[in-house]
Amino acid sequence: MTETAEAADAQIVKMIVFTVGEQEYCIPILSVREIRGFEKTTALPFAPHYVCGAINLRGIILTVIDLAVYLNIQPQPNNPRRVVVIVESKNGIVYGLLVDRVIDMADVNIDTIQSVPEEGSSLSGLVTIGNRMIGVLRLETVVSKLVEGMVSA
């Protein structure tokens, strides 16, 4: 097989890379609708503890998940670089992910993602970019826990 054919077989996905605490995570850029500066949210009574509230996005009310709280990482409330990444899961649910900082975009070969053995994990795997190990966030797990948490709360 030639290098060109091998390259054609590789499944490259463009990912957006962000930090939560000291750890880097990525998600496919096709699931990202936009990135907004963090703004005050409206509290949602009885929401799961990792939901920091709701925002109005041009007339659409969206739930915002504090990804640090969700991943059990110490939040950085005074970090001026915190942004909300508006994402849409495969099942069409749109919500915001509060992250500490968006740092990069990267082309990731799907074949290089090493899976995480935990069933139901919020990570689909780990990938190495340069000398950095980055967690690949599984949006469907995050949204399913959000929906379960909202229903059971």
Mean model confidence pLDDT for the chain: 88
Beta strands (DSSP E) in the chain are 12-20, 23-28, 32-37, 51-57, 60-66, 83-88, 94-99, 101-109, 114-115, 123-129, 132-137
Find out whether 29 and 15 touch, Cβ atoms under 8 Å. Answer: yes
- pTM value is 0.86
In the prediction, which pLDDT does 91 show? 80
Model confidence at 52, in pLDDT bands (50, 70, 90)?
very high
Model confidence at 92, in pLDDT bands (50, 70, 90)?
confident
Beta strands (DSSP E) in 38-99 are 51-57, 60-66, 83-88, 94-99
Higher pLDDT, 13 or 89: 13
CA dist 25 and 141 (Å) reads 15
In the prediction, which pLDDT does 75 show? 85
Give the mean model confidence (pLDDT) for residues 20-25: 94
CB-count exposure of residue 84 (10 Å: 0-12, 13-18, 19+): buried
In the prediction, which pLDDT does 6 show? 57
In the prediction, which pLDDT does 5 show? 52
Nearest of 68, 43, 44 to residue 122 by alpha carbon: 68
DSSP H/E element including 70: helix 67-70
